Amino acid sequence: MPTGRKFITENPGKSARYALSAIAPFISAYIIFFVELDPNNPAVTNTLAVAVLMALWWITEVIPLAITSLLPIVLFPALGIMNGREVSSTYFNHVIFLFIGGFLVALAIQKWGLHKRIALKILRIIGSSPGRILLGFMFATAFLSMWISNTATAMLMVPILISIITKLEEINGKDLVKHFAVGLLLCIAYSASIGGIATLVGTPPNLSFARIFYIYFPNAPEISFATWFFYAFPISLVLFLVLFGYLYLIFVKRKKNWKSLSKGEILNDYEKLGKKNFEEKVLLIAFAALAFLWFFRADIVIGEVAIPGWSNWFNYPQFFNDGTVAIFVAVVLFMIPSKTQPGTFLMDWKAAEEIPWEIILLFGGGFALASGFKESGLSMWFGHQLEWLSGLHPLVLILCICFLVTFLTEITSNTATVETLLPILAGLAVSIETNPLLFMLPATIAGSLAFMLPVATPPNAIVFGSKRISVIQMAKTGFFLNIIGIILVSIITYYFGTFIFDIAEGAFPEWAQIDN
């Protein structure tokens, strides 16, 4: 979801958002003084009040997301929820450094233009007919967003796409290209989100899940980069195929009298980049090394098959995490001199200043809120209120969770939505004695699968900002994908995710038994 006041002032619901933001503190005050969830533990009620205030301010975005995320530092100590020192420490952890390290590598790739070479290379290989152009941009976007944030990927791909659309308009005329252009723009937005779910670093909700899950269940098996990939990549792949078929039928199949973009024009754009320089070669190696080190850091165990991780070469393999790897590769980039620009390095602090600190603080606020839910007992309180759901089949519960998260994310920040709901789902799972992963995993994925509105995800907003697509066009196309996403995530989680994470139906793992 886009951040900042500028976007809000351009939204038609501006007045309602400002009004809701203004009354949010009064709603929280009412909860504190007139609601009593647990007579023996006022911290439960106070935590709910803070959660409501943060959720409403996150939804409206009148107050910047980062500033709202800092509220627990002040309110948790003031309301007797958590010690100020403890809540402050939740804002920086290994997940945050995983994000920082990954983003530093991504910024280096952007600095030297490697992303453009990758995108154009993919287009050259796949082809230049309408269907192939669609597939090329989808593949390039999805692939890049697995390693670079989906927001950055969309921002990188849209200018490349606009140049291709302009050339198509010159060949075929604007009227003939207009409909196809909408499909291309949507493929960027949707592919960025779909590709992002495949890896832990692809989209912020994935990282939020990794940290919140650890906060609640520190004794649980680690959710490593490889483990997440084995679970999420099949979902990403199936959604990618569905998306291509769907967009092809709507925007490509009925085209007549169409003149394709010549391979020569794509080749010309590629050749303008010149030969691959020293910096791009080193970054390509660093990029591949980072993916390899992430993937094979921890032991990979699938059924009876086990692949030992490289961390076992060290005396204390448990001391390593994915954040360690990301920071290591990022630091190395600051040490390698540039040949194209003597006296500089592959990465410098000027480029590093582009790190989205607002998202980092948003992470921290979500982690602090999750800690508050746990320490106060609010998550368990919610779980007890929802114990009646224990009679439902797990697949039905997963469907309901995915539906709620997907459509809630259409109007709220996907990261904020996931960070608010995951603690509740953790408490629900413990209360009905179900493996928490069965609820928390699909909720996290669903947070990235809102395709209907510009405000749903950052890629949607970036594409909408091209002014070549209307809200109605996005909503009509995205509704079907929302429903398909909900169904696919639920089914794959229930039938495949249970195998990857060794989830036995009806069995409540020992590591999930937290104190009430």
**What are the contacts of 299-303 at 24+ separation with CB within 8 A?**
300/226, 300/227, 300/230, 302/230, 302/500, 303/499
Distance from C-alpha of 297 to C-alpha of 140, rounded to nearest angstrom: 26
pLDDT score of 473:
85
411 near 369, Cβ under 8 Å?
Answer: no
Q: Would you state the structure tokens that stand for residue 85, as one six-digit string?
A: 């020192």
For the chain, domain boundaries? 1-86, 94-352
pLDDT score of 452:
82
CB-CB neighbours of 276 under 10 Å: 11
Q: Would you state the structure tokens that stand for residue 255, as one six-digit string?
A: 């085209």
Question: In whole angstroms, how large is the CA radius of gyration of the chain?
Answer: 23
pLDDT score of 11:
47
35 near 46, Cβ under 8 Å?
Answer: no
Share of the chain above pLDDT 90, in %: 24
If we measure between CA atoms, which residue out of 65, 321, 353, 98 comes closest to residue 203? 98
pTM of the model: 0.68
424 near 467, Cβ under 8 Å?
Answer: no
Q: What pLDDT digit, counting tens, does each position of 471-507 carry?
A: 788 888 889 999 999 999 999 999 988 888 888 877 8
- Residue 362 CA neighbour count, 13 Å, CB half: 29
Distance from C-alpha of 182 to C-alpha of 471, rounded to nearest angstrom: 11
317 near 146, Cβ under 8 Å?
Answer: no
**What are the contacts of 393-399 at 24+ separation with CB within 8 A?**
394/434, 394/438, 394/494, 394/505, 395/490, 395/491, 395/494, 397/439, 398/438, 398/439, 398/442, 398/489, 398/490, 398/493, 398/494, 399/486, 399/487, 399/490
What is the 3-state composition of the chain as percent helix, strand, coil, each rounded to the nearest 5? 70, 0, 30
370 near 469, Cβ under 8 Å?
Answer: no
Q: What is the 3-state secondary structure (H, E, C) of 159-205?
A: HHHHHHHHHHHHHHCHHHHHHHHHHHHHHHHHHHHHHHCCCCCCCHH
pLDDT score of 388:
74
What residues pair up with 81 in beta bridges, in sequence order?
Answer: none
**Side chain identity at residue 432, one-letter code:** I
Q: SS3 of 300, please?
A: strand
361 near 91, Cβ under 8 Å?
Answer: yes
Q: Would you state the structure tokens that stand for residue 113, as one six-digit string?
A: 């233009």
> Which regions in the chain score pLDDT beneath 50?
1-12, 516
pLDDT score of 102:
76
- Residue 207 CA neighbour count, 13 Å, CB half: 31
